[in-house]
Amino acid sequence: MELRDSLTSIKGIGPKKAECFSRLGIETLEDLIFTFPRIYEDRRNVRTISQLEPEEDAVFSGTVDIIRPGGLKGKGRRVVKMLISDDTGSIEVVFFNAAYLAKTVHIGDVLTFFGKPQMNNERLQVIHPQFEKTDNAQTGIIPIYPLTRGISQREMRRLQTKLKPLYAKADNILSNATIEKNKLCNLEFALENLHFPQDREKFLQSKYRMVFEEFLVLQAGLQMSKADQKNTGPGACCSIKGAEQEYIDAMPYPLTKAQRRVTDEIISDLEGRKMMNRLLQGDVGSGKTAVAEIAIYKAVKSGWQAVMMAPTEILASQHFAGFKESFSKFGMNVGFLTGSMKTGEKREVLEKLAAGDIDILVGTHAVIQPEVEFAKLGLVITDEQHRFGVNQRIRLKEKGENPNVLVMTATPIPRTLAVVLYGDMDVSVIDEMPPGRQPVKTICTSDDSGRKACYDFVERQIRQGHQIYVVTPLIDQSEAMDAKSAQEVYEELRKRFEKTALIHGAMKQSEKDEIMAKFNDGKIDILVATVLIEVGINVPNATVMVIENAERFGLAQMHQLRGRVGRGVHQSYCYLLIGNESELALKRGEIMTNSTDGFYIAEEDLKIRGPGEIFGTRQHGLPDMKLADMARHLNVLADARDEARRLLEEDSGMEKEENQPLKRRIIKLFGEDFSLNL
């Protein structure tokens, strides 16, 4: 048995089973031993039947004396009752909806149960306990693994037990120095106690080690890439003082106080000799783009080129249109680049860019392709930063000698997490909305009459000359049974509202552009869309955002969507139509109705979902982690960061023999194109 052997090398696992495991990302024996339990069940409280107490989880064994397949009860649930006894007494065990039990359990069987007894008519009873034949039953602390269809908990545990001898061979990536300095347990011990914990103390020690290890890989990787960024000399300096004022004076509105403040911060970065490396945070609609424009103007005036990368084509083309209008009057040339452009068009843009004839480039991630070359890139801006990965951010920056960097995001990031993700960045926050904005009124409804009222309201708004977004979670019906598709909603609305259009991600770019242009020009009243309009779109005349099947959207997403309206002077509205009512959906609806503050909503989201999901690394373009949880394990994170610093101070290129396993893991985690050459 070797670590890299495939699962099928185990007796009893054929190609079919292997496919099930593959769904969990498990291909080899090594993958399996690094698949850790989700949670554990404490089955150490073994009791005789007479010792059982109400409301206390316990394990007990006994013989089946009576099985009574009861009649139908309530909503057609078939109740099966059993009487279980041991030397000390007997107790009733009840299963609902369990006709199958009559076939698998027989009188005289000896079973072990795990459950919580409850009082019922002054007698103890256990409802729906877990049970096993006593011969197979496990007590102690029982691991509960993540599963997928076709794999049972019992099977998983059996396999894990079988693989115990491999623990000693598992790849240890930590050097002895790291283990000693941080008082970590060894890998074999950690694996043993994560799968089969003997007690809480040993389990916690083991978990600490594995979380530490994951964070160390992450931190060392990030720090190496940052060191890489720092080594490149002075930044693109924009020394002409006050050059931006001309642009600010020409803007159609005065800056808000918050915009003024962050503009000053950015300008002083740009004028300084050190390159700017700044994160600009601000809620949807707070006016980040305006600030970005000022920075662009300043850079171009100082003789540099600027680039702005946006996460979607729609958003990129909107920025492009806006920039053309703002900058052409100053004689600045704006170029546009996306993946879906024709080769000829693309070539022309690339040539002009390399020759320095384009001052400002706007585009999607197409702008980081290798063939894109700038003559003199001095400012790099990433919009809706959280949509891009660390790698993409770095690659964009490498298009210039040592350009100034501004990343913008509407996703509130807690301070602690920002330190990890953007370690050496300065942070600016726009914490104020432009004047005249009335908060969007939000209405949440989960029944047919509410939905009808919503579209009646939509009709009145259209009559007043306003425009409407309707967002659905899906494109077409084949994707799921219980949610309305964009297509379906479109067909329905078109009957009632003549000027309705549909837009979704699977459409050709030219079609999308055409529809967006029409919506912009007010030729379309209702735009039915999938989430693709989530970020950035700006049509101030749109006053209603209808979210169909709102239960399928997370809070952060709904907040972003709602930010598409209320961008002009008109009172705007957001309707959350809940199709499939659940406690969670209603709770989210309530939060949305009560607040329009992105930071508050993010906090509530955190409470509902738990930190793991919301600050999940995936959203921020970082590699996924198995056990580590940024928000919950902050102390471990700090320890790992310090250790990574220590390691890199001693061995900046990770060349030492003892650091090779760690380096290999870093490369594996961050991917091949992650720049590690210092």
Q: Which is nearer to Mg ion, 208 or 469 (CB)?
A: 469
CB of 289 to Mg ion, least distance (A): 5
CB of 584 to Mg ion, least distance (A): 29
Of the residues 117, 129, 285, 335, which one makes contact with ligand ADP according to CB under 6 A: 285
Q: According to CB under 5 A, which residues from 535 to 564 bind Mg ion?
A: 536
The verdict on 177 binding ligand ADP (CB under 6 A) reads no
Site string for ligand ADP, 232-271 (x = CB under 6 A): ---------------------x-xx--x------------
Q: How many contiguous H segments (helices) and E segments (strands) does the chain have?
A: 23, 22
Ordered DSSP codes for 630-664: TTT-HHHHHHHHHHHHHHHHH-TT--SGGGHHHHH
Q: Which is nearer to Mg ion, 381 or 462 (CB)?
A: 381
CA distance 564 to 574: 10
Choose from Mg ion, ligand ADP, none: what does 287 bind? Cβ within 5-8 Å by kind. ligand ADP
Choose from Mg ion, ligand ADP, none: what does 538 bind? Cβ within 5-8 Å by kind. ligand ADP
CA distance 348 to 332: 17
**CB burial of residue 4 (10 Å; 0-12, 13-18, 19+):** exposed
Residue 57 phi, psi (nearest 5): -55, 135
- From the list 84-92, 197-205, 370-378, 530-538, the region that binds Mg ion by CB under 5 A is 530-538
Contacts of 204 (CB under 8 A, 6+ apart): none
CB of 258 to ligand ADP, least distance (A): 9
Q: Which is nearer to ligand ADP, 143 or 536 (CB)?
A: 536
The verdict on 178 binding ligand ADP (CB under 6 A) reads no
CB of 438 to ligand ADP, least distance (A): 13
Ordered DSSP codes for 487-524: HHHHHHHHHH-SSEEEE-TTS-HHHHHHHHHHHHTT--
CA distance 404 to 275: 5
Segment holding 35, helix H or strand E? none
CB 114 within 8 A of CB 43: yes
Q: How many CB atoms lie within 10 A of CB 439?
A: 13
Site string for ligand ADP, 554-593 (x = CB under 6 A): -------------x--------------------------
DSSP tag of 614: H
DSSP reduced 3-state for 473: coil
CB of 399 to ligand ADP, least distance (A): 23
Q: Which is nearer to Mg ion, 235 or 536 (CB)?
A: 536
Q: Which is nearer to Mg ion, 191 or 258 (CB)?
A: 258
Choose from Mg ion, ligand ADP, none: what does 335 bind? Cβ within 5-8 Å by kind. none
Residue number with the shortest CB distance to Mg ion? 536
Q: In what order do the strands lie in the sheet with 526-529?
A: 441-445, 573-577, 542-547, 467-471, 526-529, 500-503
CB 601 within 8 A of CB 188: no
Q: Which is nearer to ligand ADP, 43 or 386 (CB)?
A: 386
CB of 553 to ligand ADP, least distance (A): 19
CB of 344 to ligand ADP, least distance (A): 32
Q: According to CB under 6 A, which residues from 397 to 456 bind ligand ADP?
A: 410, 434
CA distance 608 to 82: 38
Select from 284, 238, 315, 312 the least CA-distant residue to 412.
Answer: 284
CB of 198 to ligand ADP, least distance (A): 53
Of the residues 143, 287, 335, 566, which one makes contact with ligand ADP according to CB under 6 A: 287
CB of 255 to ligand ADP, least distance (A): 5
Q: Which is nearer to ligand ADP, 13 or 321 (CB)?
A: 321
Of the residues 62, 129, 282, 412, which one makes contact with ligand ADP according to CB under 6 A: 282
CB of 568 to ligand ADP, least distance (A): 7
Give the position of tokens 């726009």. Answer: 430
Here the tokens at position 245 are: 């004022």
CB 292 within 8 A of CB 319: no
CB of 410 to ligand ADP, least distance (A): 6
CA distance 526 to 539: 12
Q: Which is nearer to Mg ion, 190 or 430 (CB)?
A: 430
CB of 279 to ligand ADP, least distance (A): 14
Site string for ligand ADP, 516-555 (x = CB under 6 A): ----------------------x-x---------------
The verdict on 140 binding ligand ADP (CB under 6 A) reads no
Strands 404-409 and 110-115: unpaired
Q: Which is nearer to ligand ADP, 286 or 467 (CB)?
A: 286
CB of 443 to ligand ADP, least distance (A): 23
Q: How many CB atoms lie within 10 A of CB 389?
A: 18
Q: Which is nearer to ligand ADP, 256 or 392 (CB)?
A: 256
Site string for ligand ADP, 289-328 (x = CB under 6 A): xx--------------------------------------
Here the tokens at position 316 are: 């990129």
Ordered DSSP codes for 94-152: EEES-TTHHHH--TT-EEEEEE-EEEETTEEEEES-EEEETTT---EEEEE----TT--
Q: Which residues bind ligand ADP (CB under 6 A)?
A: 253, 255-256, 259, 282, 284-290, 410, 434, 538, 540, 567
Q: Which residues bind Mg ion (CB under 5 A)?
A: 536
